[in-house]
A and B are shown apart, each in its own frame.
Chain A
Amino acid sequence: MAERIQIHPVTRVEGHAKISIYVDDAGEVTSAQFHVTEFRGFEKLCEGRPFHEMPGLMSRICGICPISHILASSKAGDMLLGVEIPRAAAKQRRLVNHAQILQSHALSFFHLSAPDLFLGMDAPPSKRNIFGMLEGDADFVRRGIRLRQFGQRIIELVGGKKIHPAWGAPGGVLQAIGAAERDEIRSSIPEAIESLHEALGRLKRVLDSFAVEIEHLGNFPTLFLGTVSPEGELEYYDGLIRIGDAEGNIVADGLDPLRYASYLGEASEEWSFMKLPHYKPLGYPGGLYRVGPLARLNIAKSAGTPLANREMTEFKQRGKGAVCQSFHYHLARLIEMLHAVESIEQLADDPDLMREHVRAQAGQNRHHGVGSCEAPRGTLFHDYEVDDHGLIRRANLLIATSQNNLAMNQTVEQAARYFVSSRAIQEGMLNRVEAGIRCFDPCLSCSTHAFGQASFIIEIRNAAGDLLQQITR
């Protein structure tokens, strides 16, 4: 007898989505899909616009990681101009990128995932949120909020405002920064490092109690993709692409991000507006790979900063070869935040940062430009073709979250098979399916350009595709 339950909407993810869980006649889960149901279409609406506008226009895709879009877009613009940007501009871009990774990861960890981690997956939903956290340990939550504030403040000090700053441009950035700004950034670093040490300690202490989740929320072998520096260290702004496998081997190295289309394919399915990128040599869907904090830590040999290095060495011991448990995205995120704060400190001490010359001037010299950088959620590519007069003829965006699409689908399926039984649906079971998605910190508005009504729906279907239960919240 078909029955229907609704959970609507899902909490603590950025954007809107739906999950379908297929159930056989015996009530066992056979498969699951993660649908992104809406569409925004930035690739289309920028056609006919001058490429100089792209950093500002593309940053409007997202209010959480506008900096990533500004950077990838500006870098594509640099390529269209055919210039090397001034050192100060490159340093500013690096600084602000680290600041954004810090604030975005802080949001994901403290605001969105900490309630699951520190209050428990089965805590009552009314308490399982940042306000419930505040009741328990206000100081810890405040530290998280201040970490995010620190990242946002750097963006504001350098770019002029926290969200969507008019700052990046093809050829560099719009303004130089002064000593007062730099000193303010420096002054907040000790507190940030202290907060991160505390968060890392706390997370590591509770990890043992999540053994089942670590085992069954997105734990499977995949490839990992990210940017590394020439030395093979963590790199977020400008480097070459490395692809590693689950055993920790390097599958491909030194790939030019500009030629991403030669090794990354983009499939699409009618059940989702989110593209399904895959590693071309292994085809679709076999070329499944993960990006973001977990992937970056897996492929880089070291962090390149002392404190993060120590944590990273310890982290790598959690896997045989690569760390394949998606649950460890949380830990990876904290380590990346530590690395970001250390990098911010290094950049603040760099005399190049404050040079006055921040923009290279040139006319258009190319018709095709690609820009890439590491966004908080993974590798981001912006690819523009322009006409003789610099108007966008075609744009293609390859967004971090969409590169995790195949892995998120597999995570949902794995979590549903283990935790969900169609006979007795409990809230905590479904929260674990959601938590599987939360590991990836997906930013759905970025990846699909979706708009419209917020909804998160879990559907349970039988073999014939009939809806048994629908859970909306």
Chain B
Amino acid sequence: MAYQSLRDSDAQIENFNRANTVNLPRQTHLSAVLRLAQIGSIMGSGGLIVMDETSCMVDVARFFMEFCMDESCGKCIPCRAGTVQMHDILRRITTGEANEDDLEMLKTLSDLLRETSLCGLGQTAPNPVISTLKYFPQEYEAHIHEKRCPAGHCHMTAAGQEVAS
């Protein structure tokens, strides 16, 4: 199995950084395409999730936060209690119950967890939030201000509608 050379995919990296999308040639070596650290990610266990426009970025962030919340060992406070609160805010964004202050708090908590958590789990728990806020801010705003999920994934609750009115 022959990987494409590094040089061949330089253009692809540029393309990604410009448009946040990439068309991968078959059998491309991943590290060649994506300088992960550069774009704020890590390889982790080697998994890769491919998503299209039907995936709600807020819900994706919520999903990863749920994972971290469940996996938190509970020793240090920022991770144990912070992931719970971040998950709660993300959940409320997806149901339309959140407001602008919640978004600010999400950012504040992201800093707290990154800077004060005891281990890598808590330190990296906010990454999906930080990345989605950076690359898809309009999805957060649509949920919060318009009570609308651009991907058509989230169901706004009655409580959410009340917040809107």
Q: Do chains A and B touch in the complex (CB under 8 A)?
A: no
